[in-house]
Amino acid sequence: MGKYYRLTEDTALRSWLFVPQAYYKKNEVGAKPLSDEEFDILSLCDGEHEIPDSELLSSLVSQGLISECQKGEKPSEWSSYKEYPHRYFPEMCLMMTGHCNLNCLHCFNAKDNAPIVTEWSWEQLKDLLDQCADAGVQAFTITGGEPMVHPHFMDMMRYIYEKNMIVKELNTNGHFLTKELLDELKSFGCNPLIKISFDGVGFHDRIRNEEGLEKETIGKMHLVVDNGFRLMSQTQVNRINISSMMDTVKLMTDIGVVRARITRTQEVPRWVQLVGDASLPPDEYCEKMLEFAGEYARSGMQTELSIWNLINMNPKEKTYRLVPVMFRDGEYKPTQAVCMDCRKMINVRSNGEVITCLQIGGGLDAMGEHFESLHEKPLAEILKDSLWERMVCTNVHRISEVTPECKNCRFFKYCGGGCRAVGMLLSDYRYDFLKAHGNTEGLELVEKMYLSPDKTKCAFFHQGYYKKAVEIMGDWENQSTIPEDVL
């Protein structure tokens, strides 16, 4: 004789194309795989099947996946087994609005551009979130514009949790954060990593184009930490503010950020028009930011530091990873997706487009090309068959197949072709694309652009920046090693 069991309230049994046996834990990001034996037992934990005792059954109970119940006590609707006909896409980055309250010099979502930016209506948002729940999406990154300018920001945050999904990260300039808002987030279990932009001690006001904003933003960062939320800082670096990077990271450390992230200010039209030649060229960016990484390594500060497209540092363990190295020696996987971040994340723009990476949105707008829109096509269909789905599921080996310089490069099995967004923006196919715009060849060229090599990674390896980085980091452990004979 056995007993009756059901899935616990925070466990959900799921199946996707190529991931047929998995489960979600509520408030934890990512599905976890199951063995055949585990899946078979969990499939019977519906309050209707009598299950004999076994060591595996006891293990599933101790893990909190199932609990004993009376006959007929079914698991909740969310916990019950669901099978999806598409690939596994657990997360969505949702740009809920293109509007913002600030006029930052480098941003195409600046307040000046309000007449041309787009925004999801509340009814559209609810419908989208319903579709996400039905498609097995579990976690969200919420971004903008400034997401809190949306009149239904908090309604949307609540609705995500009502649908048994979670907010993993919230991108904001911090202006609208209050203790009352943070308390309200806590009230329904919302505890995201809050990422606030801060563009340099003594320079934040200038780059954000508003006097007094630096003091306000620092205050908002303290507010986040003091109220028990995890905080990450995001800093643009350019020729204007590069001298402030050490003071900036020290301030972020004193505030209590869990990670400081520095990104290169790109040469977008608004930035060039307002500021001119202030972006750091890729080679200068590599030189100066590697020097900064070495200085930071010797500073004794313990905050994790991420320098975009270059290096991630963990001072507590004295380890680092060089971002251009996608695969360590012997770990090359030709069947891996060309970008794992894009592969797991559904990126949705404020105009409804599902796009491979939000970073390429402005570039495609300038060329007049667009991906499928959720205002015109259901999410389930886009996840199953679309230009976006084909591109994010493309394997690394396709880059070497269509790109001679990658096929013949000794570094390809380490870099994997580099960043797809940068590859598109620097692609040699851009000129061909502009000539073909409006023709049926247009979308084919978008895919070719997506497979173009990231020339900044070419420079990193061929101009010796890998060796420079290893030398600069001294006795720190390199977690992205390449054999000396390859170098």
228-281: pLDDT as tens digits:
999 999 999 999 999 999 999 999 999 999 999 999 998 877 888 899 999 998
245-255 vs 282-297: helix crossing angle, rounded to 10:
50
The whole-number pLDDT of residue 229 equals: 98
Which residue in 450, 143, 380, 425 sits closest to 264, CA to CA?
425
**Predicted confidence (pLDDT) per residue in 43-58, tens digit:** 999 999 999 999 999 9
Calpha distance 423→437 (Å, rounded):
19
The whole-number pLDDT of residue 44 equals: 97
- Separation in Å, CA 113 to CA 98, 184, 200, 224, 400: 9, 31, 24, 29, 40
The whole-number pLDDT of residue 439 equals: 42
Residues of the chain with pLDDT under 70: 113-116, 363, 366-367, 429-445
Instruction: Please say whether the beta carbons of 319 and 480 come within 8 A.
Output: no
The whole-number pLDDT of residue 382 equals: 97
Calpha distance 86→380 (Å, rounded):
8
The whole-number pLDDT of residue 404 equals: 87
Surface-to-core class of residue 237, CB atoms within 10 Å of its CB (0-12 exposed, 13-18 middle, 19+ buried): buried
φ, ψ for residue 443 (rounded to 5)?
Answer: -70, -30
- Residue 400 identity: S
The whole-number pLDDT of residue 228 equals: 98
**Predicted confidence (pLDDT) per residue in 91-105, tens digit:** 999 999 999 999 888
The whole-number pLDDT of residue 282 equals: 86
The whole-number pLDDT of residue 17 equals: 96
Helices (H), ranges, 44-144: 55-62, 122-134
Domain 89-280 sits in CATH 3.20.20.70: yes
The whole-number pLDDT of residue 153 equals: 98
The residue ranges of DSSP E strands in 230-338, in sequence order, are: 231-237, 259-264, 304-307, 311-314, 319-322
Beta bridge partners of 4: 50, 69
